[in-house]
Amino acid sequence: MKKTVGSLYAGVGGICMGFKNAGFELEWANEFDKNACTTYKNNFKHNLIEGDVMALDVTALEKINILTAGFPCQPFSVAGYRKGFEDSRGNHFFKILDFVDEMRPNVIFLENVKNLKGHDKGNTIKVIESEIRKRNYTFDSAVLNTKDFGNIPHNRERIFIVAFDKDYIKDDKFEFHFPEKEDLTKSIKDLITKEKVDEKFYYHEDKYMYDMLRESITNKDRIYQFRRQYVRENKSSVCPTLTANMGTGGHNVPLITTDFGFRKLTPRECFRFQGFPDDFKLPAISNSHLYKQAGNSVSMPVIQRLASEIYKVLEKVEAKKTKKAKEKA
């Protein structure tokens, strides 16, 4: 069986790269943000459909075995939900279900912020699980932290949902296992550029907060955040959660100190803290867009470990099907 992937809300391709590294074949992807599309096309050669997912014609796309989506979290109107899908047409999760209904993938893989669990007083995740199970899929979810499951010193918790088509697995003893927690062996220093970077990333005496930063940012093993009236030190020796707000300007990018002075993390370093290798190409677009993309992305090594577990299940299912076919023959 070809293990093909279709990716919705693909961003710069963190989910795609994780699945590709785990042995899957990327068939197509969709992304709305034009700058994220630029970065994506610099790194992948398969079909990228640029534009609003709501405008996509599901029937026109190649059917795939695995559907992935790092989708926006929206509340469901309970009253509207009970009336049926007509009141939920603008919701991204229900658009994903259109793909599920049309393509019937063997696996659904969803990623979202940790707060999805409590979103809309718990109603959102209940609806998601109900709708997936209603379509005769399994449902497993877990919150994983990048520092515990990706061997990257980055405190980033995300919820992952994995669902298998029961018609495909046809096995009462089937179980999907999330990856085991692993020791963190990489440090902040391992991801920081050793040489001097472009001068624009450094804070000099012309900055009004210079004296405060000089007094506070002293440990090369720590990452700091400027919070208007004070500097926050992340004492856990990992990077605080990177956010899309890094791209909005101001002082939202985390700070470090090096032999050359104290400065912001560079976009390349932010991508490293998301687990992207240095051969991942960053296009010649503004740093604000690159910061936003890094903050919006998934932690690629966590995706790769999850994808590897999914791959194992698919291999076992196919082996059983082959064995049964031989026995019948």
In a domain, 291, yes or no: no
Average pLDDT score, the chain = 90
Indicate the SS3 state at residue 199.
helix
Catalytically active residues, by annotation: 73
Decide: 68 and 115 in contact? Cβ < 8 Å.
Answer: no
Picking from 266, 247, 252, the residue whose alpha carbon sits closest to that of residue 197 is: 266
Backbone φ, ψ for residue 2 (5° rounding):
-70, 135
In a domain, 292, yes or no: no
Indicate the SS3 state at residue 176.
coil
E-strand spans in the chain? 4-8, 25-31, 47-50, 66-69, 107-113, 140-145, 157-164, 223-227, 230-234, 255-258, 261-264
Reported as a pLDDT band with limits 50, 70 and 90, residue 48 is very high
Cα gap 254→271, rounded to integer Å: 13
Q: What is the pLDDT of residue 100?
A: 97
Question: Does one domain contain both 68 and 166?
Answer: yes
Task: State the pTM of this model.
Answer: 0.92
Question: Does one domain contain both 279 and 306?
Answer: no
Q: To which residue do tokens 């795939």 refer?
A: 64
Question: Does one domain contain both 124 and 267?
Answer: no
In a domain, 232, yes or no: yes
Question: Does one domain contain both 203 and 232?
Answer: yes
In a domain, 209, yes or no: yes
Structure tokens at 19: 């699945």
Number of domains in the chain: 2
Question: Does one domain contain both 323 and 194?
Answer: no
Query: Which of the residue ranges 41-55, 63-77, 161-175, 241-255 would you say has the lowest mean pLDDT?
Result: 63-77
Cα gap 254→239, rounded to integer Å: 8
In a domain, 176, yes or no: yes
Bigger pLDDT: 227 vs 18: 18
pLDDT of 214 higher than 90: no
Contacts with 151 (C-beta within 8 Å, 6 or more apart), sequence order: 182, 183, 184, 185, 186, 301
Question: Does one domain contain both 121 and 218?
Answer: no
Question: Does one domain contain both 93 and 174?
Answer: yes
CATH assignment of the domain containing 113: 3.40.50.150
Indicate the SS3 state at residue 137.
strand
Decide: 264 and 180 in contact? Cβ < 8 Å.
Answer: no
pLDDT of 38 higher than 80: yes
Give the model confidence (pLDDT) of 67-110 as tens digits: 999 987 655 555 455 544 444 445 888 899 999 999 999 999 99
Give the model confidence (pLDDT) of 182-197 as tens digits: 999 999 999 999 999 9
In a domain, 290, yes or no: no
Decide: 110 and 100 in contact? Cβ < 8 Å.
Answer: no
Question: Does one domain contain both 160 and 173?
Answer: yes
Cα 221 to Cα 34, 78, 183, distances in angstroms: 36, 48, 18
Where in the sequence is the domain holding 238, given as residue range(s)? 188-285
Question: Does one domain contain both 47 and 179?
Answer: yes
Average pLDDT, integer, range 211-225: 89
Q: What is the pLDDT of residue 122?
A: 82
Decide: 188 and 223 in contact? Cβ < 8 Å.
Answer: yes
Angle in degrees, CA 204, 209, 210, rounded to 5: 35
Structure tokens at 160: 């992952």
Pairing of strands 157-164, 140-145: antiparallel
For the four alpha carbons of 288, 284, 29 and 242, in that order, the dihedral sign comes to: negative
Question: Does one domain contain both 178 and 273?
Answer: no
Amino acid at residue number 41: K
Q: What is the pLDDT of residue 87?
A: 45
In a domain, 229, yes or no: yes
In a domain, 158, yes or no: yes
Question: Does one domain contain both 215 and 90?
Answer: no
Cα torsion 203, 204, 209, 211 to 10°: value is: 120
Question: Does one domain contain both 136 and 90?
Answer: yes
Percent of the chain residues topping a pLDDT of 90: 68
Pairing of strands 47-50, 107-113: unpaired
Give the model confidence (pLDDT) of 274-284 as tens digits: 999 999 999 99
Cα gap 28→10, rounded to integer Å: 10
269: left (phi over 0), alpha (psi -120 to 50) or beta: alpha
